[in-house]
Structure 1
């Protein structure tokens, strides 16, 4: 596939680029600072600098001719999300530019606390952990909620991947998945496995139009 990856310099985004290249895909990595990508030059890797992800005209060249889009965008922290939300405004422009470019398939990373609470989450997560996280990181999750709403309202064939706490560990490929719910008891997952999920959902016919919970 010919993929465009947003958020390519983040922990999940770099893994998406690496794994996509390993799988034989052609990748356009969209970045603000190419030095932060830290991935060796590759014949199937194009690095495109786009400093304003809300500029639809700047987005169009990196989307034209692509088969699918992966978004690993996310607020760096709660303060950034409060002062200048990034993910919601960016995805609003990205899905609009995708429509102009004729690209329909999209997978995007979100976060487990955005999923509705279920008994499968366990009492500790439902009554203690998630309420604390949602309060402490309310601006970050508000930005991600806007992103999910923009994606769901778009004409794309979308999948949102919702991981719990992220770890810097190698890909296992053996993580659990739950459609439109969090993984019961799932507390952590390697960033590399989130990248794997973002890529594998692109060809999974069961995931378009759904959120996918992932965890080890």
Structure 2
């Protein structure tokens, strides 16, 4: 497949590029600073962009099988960036007639498991309060997805870890795995790539966790 990855210098984005290349896909990585991308390969094209203009991005998504995005706030002061940048990506995709889009959101944006215990409910409430602006941004990003003409999937992980790929995790379409507290960025990327052709994830939020 021909894939485009936005946010390719972030933890999940870098893994998306690396794993997609390893799987034999052709990858276009859209980055602000190419020097920060430490992945290389003969099937990799690197495009530099500040993601301010949908028209500028049309060439980066033209003819692609899917677009994958690791865009999002890296801290609370960056809240708002996920919605703004995703809106630009959607604009470019719609202009080129590219439909498949997978993005990273967060577990607390979706529904909590009905059988979560007091500890998990308490942690979820605390994290949601501390990062309320970031999660508000992600909710608005998901609203932009729902209003778009794309075949989107929002992947919602819990706390992210920098650990090796395992390929072993749980997913729940429209919900979240009970007691799912952690997942490696590498496994989030693995899950996103595995969902590209998964029809049951279209226009759905998908919880993913160990």
TM-score range, shorter chain: over 0.9
Contact 1:121 1:183 in 2 (8 A): no
State the secondary structure of the residue aligned to 1:203.
Answer: coil
Q: CA deviation at 1:49?
A: 0.2
Q: How far apart are residue 117 of structure 1 and its match?
A: 2.6
Query: Which 4+ runs in 1 deviate beyond 3 A?
Result: none
Q: What are structure 2's unaligned runs of at least 5 residues?
A: none
Deviations 1:43-99 (A, max 9, x none): 110000001x23111111111111110011110101221xxx211011112112101
In the alignment, is residue 96 of structure 1 matched against residue 96 of structure 2? Answer: no
What are the Cα deviations for residues 105-146 of structure 1, in whole angstroms up to 9, with x where unaligned? 0111100010123323332222x1111111111111111111
TM-score (norm. length: structure 1) = 0.94
**Stretches of structure 1 lacking an aligned partner (at least 5 in a row):** none
Task: Tell me what 2:65 maps to.
Answer: 67
Deviations 1:132-167 (CA, angstroms, capped at 9, x unpaired): 111111111111111111011111111110000111
* Contact 1:8/1:29, CA 8 A, preserved across alignment: yes
Aligned to 2:209: 215
**C-alpha distance in 2, partners of 1:198/1:129?**
25
How far the C-alpha of 1:201 sits from its partner, in A, is 0.6
Q: Secondary structure at the match of 2:154?
A: strand
Where in structure 2 are the equivalents of 1:31-180 lying within 5 Å? 31-40=31-40, 42-51=41-50, 53-81=51-79, 85-126=80-121, 128-180=122-174
Taking structure 2 as the reference length, what is the TM-score of the superposition? 0.97
Preserved contact between residue 122 and residue 184 of structure 1 (Cα < 8 Å):
no
Q: When the two structures are aligned, how many residues end up with a matched partner?
A: 210
RMSD: 1.0
